[in-house]
Amino acid sequence: MRSLAAIVAAIGRLNDAVGRILAWLALGSVMVCFVVVVQRYVFSTTQLWMQDLYVWLNGALFMGVAGFTLLRDGHVRVDIYYRPASVRTKAILDLVGVLVFLLPFCVVVGIWGWPYVQASWGLREASENPGGMQGLFILKSFVLVFVLLVGLQGVAMALRSILVLAGREGELPLRFRYPQGERG
């Protein structure tokens, strides 16, 4: 069981690091958007590649931090059932949710996304805008980054649930346990 706890912690640390690094894309996106607005409305000019850039930064941010958001319990769920539930009930709900919904979703997105990303790389796809950015294939690769990080975090959630149901939650580092204040 200690190895399961180590896997949960390793995946959590990975998603935490990726989330903290990619969160800086939000600042970059806001700064680029600000420059585009100033160029357009103050100087009556624009750079199409910069318009592409802030949209692409948002796309990479959204796809890249989804696993971090799942780690932080930031995704939407039906809280009227989940929040007041006991830790054991939460573990059962998480385990079922991951196995029935999350992991199959990741598999489907991965299966459909792989050829999409592969074709984009084969073409070295770029923006359709004249004067737009090169490297759209890199942004499209974030579909697979999404699948990998969310899928891994789903595995970590399932393993955490197994540890809780086995009465071994104490083997997890505190930051990866269910919050203590929400025990039902």
Residues 6 or more apart whose Cβ sits within 8 Å of residue 60: 22, 25, 139, 142
Rounded distance, CA 58 to CA 54, Å?
A: 6
Question: What does the pLDDT read at residue 182?
Answer: 45
Instruction: Report the SS3 class of residue 130.
Output: coil
Task: Say if residue 179 is exposed, middle or buried (CB neighbours under 10 Å; 0-12, 13-18, 19+).
Answer: exposed
pLDDT of the chain, 184 residues: tens digit per residue: 889 999 999 999 999 999 999 999 999 999 999 999 999 999 999 899 999 999 999 999 999 999 999 999 888 776 788 888 899 999 999 999 999 999 999 999 999 999 999 999 999 999 998 888 999 999 999 999 999 999 999 999 999 999 999 999 989 988 899 876 444 4
Question: What does the pLDDT read at residue 76?
Answer: 77
Query: Does residue 153 contact residue 71 with C-beta atoms inside 8 Å?
Result: yes
Task: Say if residue 81 is exposed, middle or buried (CB neighbours under 10 Å; 0-12, 13-18, 19+).
Answer: exposed
Query: Does residue 70 contact residue 154 with C-beta atoms inside 8 Å?
Result: yes
Question: What does the pLDDT read at residue 184?
Answer: 41
Query: Does residue 68 contact residue 14 with C-beta atoms inside 8 Å?
Result: no
Question: What does the pLDDT read at residue 102?
Answer: 97
* Residue that has been written with the tokens 């680029």 in this structure: 32
* Residue that has been written with the tokens 């780690």 in this structure: 71
Question: What does the pLDDT read at residue 1?
Answer: 81
Question: What does the pLDDT read at residue 180?
Answer: 63
Q: Give, in degrees to the nearest 5, the angle at Cα 154 between 104 and 143.
A: 65
76: tokens are 């939407």
Question: What does the pLDDT read at residue 14?
Answer: 97
